[in-house]
């Protein structure tokens, strides 16, 4: 591609613009404005990118994230033009059920998509995660990893808190491999951005330790020069690209009307006429396709692979295998008292010994969350340890871990107090949606938090996370179950969360892996045939065991079912469930707990927020004493 051959570049951009406009028109739904506004940048970027359409997972490829996922028409059009496995038919099926081209780009659904984007700001933070992962790769594997991470974002992304959080960390870490192109078109859905936004974006990013460049987003040479400068920067770089939304859409050019609706057949027809584009919809000139093609990537990958040492290859294989079968898990004895946040800390360290790609940290709560990997050093500017320091930035933490996971060489975990899972829920949802592998460590579970009070005690959070599809929530009753939960979770190879106690819990389970794998199992069964089954999880299992003893003393048959993973229990066949749900079923959990009605006749849960007070006082106050559990159970008979 010759960047001085303006006529060809313009033809490429025009092709891209109308291809996107045609896609939206055909679907009768979508966002033409951003695609048309970014077309010129996309043409130049195609020249800079190192990708291999034949192997979309080439490890040393540049990563490209469209943070504004509503630019999906542009994304799919580019993938097609570059030579990825997205056909013209796929473009014509844009936004239709079962197509390869859904309304927002989806990871694992369409080749070449690095992350699922759509919820604004996420992609920006994912890109920071990808850049961190790239630095981790470089630190672990050497200079063979020196690609760039590009991110295209818009005003929406930059107004979201998650972008400030992650930009702050990117600047702090000096991620010089990150280049963000900010599509500054001064338009949002309600109209002019200055209705609600008047920041000095340059100053803001400089305050956060970034290099800031500007370019005219419709001038090929200017875009190219700016990208070249950015690639030399020793800081993360923001390129403020001044663009016009809906560029080429005649009287709609520059208008919010091009944002979220088709241009309309009439405007589109006139727009094509104005540029002398006398072609049918979805037309791609042959030479345009040639110019866009990224077939050079295949050769680039071959050259790169040739230079890898045997040692590097071995390390890559280790990282990619994500093999957790060799972890030397700690053993916890019956009767031992240990907070599950503490046992979890030991487990994390054991895992990190067996798998070098296990990296993570906390949102400034490492000493409380027990997430320190003792022998693995810190990940700081110019320092490549495996302990990440996210700062007090829960939301960015989740989104960054998504980026790290999607990078392909690492398995990240992150941590905060359980109640603050709310802060990162949008990112956690995307872990589930993307089917990647991020572990969320949530300590300070339930009213067991104690004195910090209602603001710090999760109530509705368990119901929330259990309701997320394709996501598993583990709440072990003790340190022993905690180990088994990790074994199950790592075998299942997908994102999951662990709810862990602040307070000591006595080890009372001697379950085996098979039992925990089923989500729930009979922990205790009285000699007499059970008339009551008590279902419970986490810190409430022990009081249930004590309640069972009280009931047995009255000659009432009872069994206690520990449910470390409600989600897995949901999948068990009825025959197995029948062995758990014997007689009257009472579920006991210090959470809102309505989902337990799936299995239980009655639920002893939380119907209000918590309170400030000693944990033991709170358990009693809210009805989780053995005496009250026994009394509720008795009432069912």
For the bound state, the minimum distance from the C-beta of residue 392 to its own copies, rounded and expressed in Å, comes to 4
Distance CA(605)–CA(588), nearest Å, equals 6
Which is closer to its own copies, CB of 191 or CB of 299? Answer: 191
Is residue 65 within a helix (H) or strand (E), and if so which, with residue range? Answer: strand 63-66
Gap between the Cα atoms of 19 and 35, Å rounded: 10
Instruction: Provide the minimum distance between the beta carbon of 268 and its own copies in the complex, in angstroms, as a whole number.
Output: 18
Contacts of 540 (CB under 8 A, 6+ apart): 588, 589, 590, 624
Q: How far apart are CA 495 and CA 473, in angstroms?
A: 9
Q: By C-beta, is 204 or 270 nearer to its own copies?
A: 204
Q: Given the complex with its own copies, which of 268 and 432 has the nearer CB atom?
A: 432
Structure tokens at 191: 């109209």
In the bound complex, what is the minimum distance in angstroms from residue 103's beta carbon to its own copies?
4
Measured from the CB atom, the residue of 322 and 372 that comes closer to its own copies is 372
CA distance 392 to 408: 26
DSSP, residue by residue, 80-124: HHHTSS--HHHHHTTT-TT-SS-SS--TTTSTT--S---STTHHH
Rounded Cα–Cα distance for residues 89 and 21 (Å)? 15
Chain Cα centroid distance, residue 555: 50
Q: What are phi and psi of 60, to 5 degrees?
A: -95, 15
Of residues 146 and 383, the one with the C-beta less far from its own copies: 383
Neighbours of 203 (CB within 10 A): 10
The minimum distance between CB 256 and its own copies, in angstroms, equals 8
Helix 340-354 and helix 479-492: axis angle, to 10°?
40
Q: What pairs with residue 533 in β-bridges?
A: 559, 585
Sign of the Cα pseudo-torsion (331, 472, 123, 88, in order): positive
The answer to whether residue 394 is catalytic is yes
- Nearer to its own copies (CB atom), residue 101 or residue 509: 101
Taking alpha carbons only, the member of 241, 201, 196 closest to residue 218 is 241
* Nearest to its own copies of 366, 534 (CB atom): 366
CB of 122 to its own copies, least distance (A): 9
Q: Which of 26, 60, 160, 394 is catalytic?
A: 394
Helix, strand, coil distribution of the chain in percent, nearest 5: 45, 15, 40
- Of 481, 468, 476, 460, the C-alpha closest to 438 is 468
CB of 549 to its own copies, least distance (A): 26
Q: Cβ closer to its own copies: 389 or 546?
A: 389
Nearest distance in Å: CB 447, its own copies: 11
Q: Which residues contact 563 (CB under 8 A, 6 or more apart)?
A: 519, 520, 535, 536, 537, 569
Give bridge partners of residue 180 from the DSSP assignment: 151, 238
Query: CA torsion 197→198→204→205, rounded to 10°?
Result: 70
Q: How far is the CB of 529 from its own copies (least distance, A)?
A: 26
Please report how close the Cβ of residue 92 comes to its own copies at its closest, in angstroms.
Answer: 14
CB atoms within 10 A of CB 266: 8
Distance (Å, rounded) from C-alpha 532 to C-alpha 509? Answer: 20
> CB-wise, 314 or 451, nearer to its own copies?
451
CA 115 to chain centre: 9
Answer for the pair 481, 400: CB distance below 8 angstroms, yes or no.
Answer: no
Tokens found for residue 483? 């180990």
Min dist. Cβ of residue 61 to its own copies (A): 24
Instruction: Give Rg (Cα) of the chain.
Output: 27
Strand partners, 337: 506
Please say whether the beta carbons of 361 and 392 come within 8 A.
Answer: no
Query: Of 433 and 582, which CB lies nearer to its own copies in the complex structure?
Result: 433
- Tell me the catalytic residues: 394
């Amino acid at each position: 591609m010759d960047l001085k051959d303006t006529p060809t570049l313009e033809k490429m951009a025009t092709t891209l613009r109308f291809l996107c406009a045609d896609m939206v028109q055909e679907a009768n739904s979508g966002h033409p404005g951003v695609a048309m506004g970014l077309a010129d940048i996309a043409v130049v970027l195609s020249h800079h990118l190192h990708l291999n359409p034949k192997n979309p997972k080439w490890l040393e490829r540049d990563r490209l994230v469209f943070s504004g996922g509503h630019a999906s028409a542009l994304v799919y059009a580019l993938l097609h033009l570059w030579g990825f496995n997205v056909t013209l038919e796929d473009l014509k099926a844009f936004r239709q059920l079962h197509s390869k081209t859904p309304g927002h780009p989806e990871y694992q659904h369409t080749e070449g998509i690095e992350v699922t984007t759509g919820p604004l700001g996420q992609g920006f933070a994912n890109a920071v995660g990808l850049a961190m992962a790239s630095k981790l790769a470089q630190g672990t594997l050497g200079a063979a990893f020196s690609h760039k991470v590009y991110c295209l974002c818009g005003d929406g992304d930059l107004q979201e808190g998650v972008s400030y959080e992650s930009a702050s960390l990117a600047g702090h870490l000096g991620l010089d491999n990150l280049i963000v192109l900010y599509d500054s078109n001064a338009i949002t859905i309600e109209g002019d951005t200055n209705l609600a936004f008047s920041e000095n974006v340059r100053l803001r990013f400089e305050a956060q330790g970034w290099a800031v460049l500007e370019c005219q987003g419709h001038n090929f040479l200017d875009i190219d020069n700016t990208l070249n400068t950015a690639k030399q920067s020793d800081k993360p770089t923001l390129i403020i690209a001044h663009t016009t939304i809906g560029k080429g859409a005649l009287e709609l050019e520059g208008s919010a009307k091009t944002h979220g609706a088709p241009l309309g057949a009439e405007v589109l027809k006139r727009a094509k006429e104005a540029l002398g584009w006398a072609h049918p919809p979805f037309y791609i000139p042959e030479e345009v396709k040639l110019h866009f093609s990224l077939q050079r990537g295949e050769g680039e990958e071959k050259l790169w692979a040739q230079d890898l040492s045997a040692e590097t290859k071995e390390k890559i294989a280790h990282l990619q295998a994500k093999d957790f079968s060799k972890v030397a898990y700690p053993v916890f004895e019956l009767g031992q008292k240990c907070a599950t946040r503490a046992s979890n800390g030991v487990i994390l360290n054991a895992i990190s010994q067996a798998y070098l790609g296990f990296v993570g940290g906390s949102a400034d709560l490492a000493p409380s969350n027990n997430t320190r990997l003792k022998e693995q050093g810190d990940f700081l500017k110019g320092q490549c340890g495996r302990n990440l320091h996210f700062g007090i930035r829960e939301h960015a933490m989740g989104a960054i871990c998504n980026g790290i996971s999607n990078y392909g060489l690492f398995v990240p975990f992150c941590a905060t107090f359980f109640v603050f899972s709310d802060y990162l829920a949008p990112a956690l949802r995307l872990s589930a949606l993307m089917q990647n592998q991020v572990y969320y460590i949530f300590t300070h579970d339930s009213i067991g938090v104690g004195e910090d009070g209602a603001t710090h005690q999760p109530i509705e959070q368990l119901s929330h996370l259990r309701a997320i599809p394709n996501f598993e929530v583990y709440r072990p009753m003790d340190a022993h179950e905690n180990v088994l939960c990790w074994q199950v979770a790592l075998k299942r190879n997908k994102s999951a969360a662990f709810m862990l106690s602040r307070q000591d819990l006595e080890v009372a389970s001697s379950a085996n892996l098979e039992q925990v794998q089923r989500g729930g199992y009979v922990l205790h069964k009285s000699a007499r045939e059970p008339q009551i089954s008590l279902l419970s999880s986490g810190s409430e299992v022990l009081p249930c065991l004590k309640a069972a003893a009280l009931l047995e003393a009255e000659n009432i048959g009872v069994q206690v079912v520990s449910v470390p993973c409600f989600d897995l229990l949901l999948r068990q066949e009825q025959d197995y469930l029948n062995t758990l749900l014997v007689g009257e079923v009472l579920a006991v959990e210090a959470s809102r707990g309505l989902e337990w009605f799936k299995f239980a006749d009655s639920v002893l849960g939380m119907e209000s927020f918590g309170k400030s007070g000693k944990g033991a006082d709170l358990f009693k106050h809210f009805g989780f004493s053995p005496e009250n559990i026994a009394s509720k159970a008795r009432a069912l008979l």
